[in-house]
Amino acid sequence: MAGLTTALLMIFSPKPAYAMHISEGFLPIQWAIFWWLLALPFMIIGFRSLNRICQKNPELKLLLALAGAFGFVLSALKIPSVTGSSSHATGTGLGALLFGPTVMPVLGSLVLTFQAILLAHGGLTTLGANIFSMAIVGPWVAFITYLIFSQCHQQKLGIFFGAALGNLVTYLVTAAQLAIAFPAESGGIMSAFIKFESIFAFTQIPLAITEGLLTVLVWNWLQSYATDELQILKLLKTGV
Amino acid sequence: MSLISEQKSNIPPQKNKQGNWWLILSVVTLIVLPLIFIKGEYNGADGQAHDAITQIQPDYEPWFEAMIKPASAEVESFLFATQAALGAGVIGYIIGLYKGRKQ
């Protein structure tokens, strides 16, 4: 009986969850520089495509602001999850699906910089790594997932799964970044990855679902009220 | 071809058939159920990344510190709430603007 109780306690006891962002100073300097260098070209491409959108279609600026604001809200909310700990959504899926993943490094880094400077959440030295996971890999995964689903004419499912998977992948990349920088003594990178990843995996799944649902909700509003903008974006994407 | 058929299917207004209330209900359920049924501390655990790292590499020292740290948990939650409020305000404004323009 006592054994059973301890077993149950072990399963349901709250485990610590990692924030999606790697804290200031918590990547060795060579890795901090590595991720910065990797993120920079994506940032430059992002600025360019943002510029292009704003010059060619200034009427889309409001929608850009909306995508950025969505990221602000979702990454500010630490949402409680089934494991008894809290974690964030990312809010980068919506912008990636609307404008394509290339603009997201810029929008995402706005949020990350705000939190790194004012909230001591994440950090400037780890900003490159955090941009890479949340504003580059996550949005690309969201976008590709969405493309696959919309090939099968399942647009709504694509938005849901795109945003949800983008959220999950962000955390997996963070775990991988920590594992590469801090490989375990025995088992190396892989065992460290499993250690980092397993702790937040269960926390993150309900949050990914929440993010997917909220993204569909905002998309529905846009579909009802911003038909012109969505039409312009559709034309932009098909390259007409 | 597929683009044309999609455009056609988009023409009838899909208002009130999107199931938005179900979406909101699901989100609230997903968040509230754990709060009621699972007793946890729900700590967001920025600091706990330290623990796992120091378990693997006990001699690791963070080499850079945040320049500004929120003075207390209250200040921190104030800043997070401000961030969320700013974002929600912008979203509400833009969606409202779109809606007003449409009518």
pLDDT tens for the 240 residues of chain A, in order: 455 544 444 444 433 334 568 888 889 999 999 999 999 999 999 999 999 999 999 999 999 999 999 999 998 888 888 777 777 889 999 999 999 999 999 999 999 999 999 888 889 999 999 999 999 999 999 999 999 999 998 999 999 999 999 999 998 998 899 889 988 888 888 888 887 777 667 778 889 999 999 999 999 999 999 999 999 988 777 654
pLDDT for residue A95 = 96
For B72, name the nearest residue in chain A, comparing CA atoms only.
A119
Q: What are the domain boundaries of chain B?
A: 2-41+70-102
Which residues in chain A have Cβ-Cβ distances shorter than 8 Å to B66? Answer: 24, 116, 120, 123
Look at A26 and B53 and tell me if their CB atoms are within 8 Å: yes
The answer to whether A55 contacts chain B (CB < 8 Å) is no
pLDDT for residue A142 = 97
The CATH number given to A42-238 is 1.10.1760.20
- In the block, residue with structure tokens 């034309």: A235
Which residues in chain B have Cβ-Cβ distances shorter than 8 Å to A216? Answer: 23
Task: Report whether pLDDT(B47) > 70.
Answer: no
Q: In the numeric block, which tokens belong to residue B93?
A: 């404004």
Tell me A88's DSSP state. E
- pTM for this prediction: 0.85
The answer to whether B11 contacts chain A (CB < 8 Å) is no
The mean pLDDT of B3-13, rounded to a whole number, is 47
Q: In the numeric block, which tokens belong to residue B18?
A: 């999107």
Backbone angles phi, psi at A79, to 5 degrees: -95, 130
Q: Which residues pair with A87 in a beta bridge?
A: A79
The mean pLDDT of B16-33, rounded to a whole number, is 88
pLDDT for residue A237 = 72
The answer to whether B25 contacts chain A (CB < 8 Å) is no
CA dihedral angle for residue A125, residue A126, residue A129, residue A132, rounded to 10 degrees: -90
Q: In the numeric block, which tokens belong to residue A68?
A: 């950025």
Its ipTM equals 0.84
pLDDT for residue A84 = 75
pLDDT for residue A88 = 81
With b for 16 or more beta-carbon neighbours within 10 A and e for fewer, the A143-169 pattern comes to bebbeebbeeeebebbbbbbbbbbbbb
pLDDT for residue A31 = 94
pLDDT for residue B43 = 64
Q: Please give the Cα distance from A183 to A197 (Å, whole number).
A: 13
Q: What are the domain boundaries of chain A?
A: 42-238
Tell me the per-residue pLDDT of B58-73, one tens digit each, with 9 for 90 and over.
778 888 887 778 888 8
Question: Which of B:62-81 have CB within 8 Å of A?
Answer: 62-70, 76, 79-81
Of A14, A153, A226, the CB nearest to B41: A14
Does B44 or B85 have the greater pLDDT score? B85
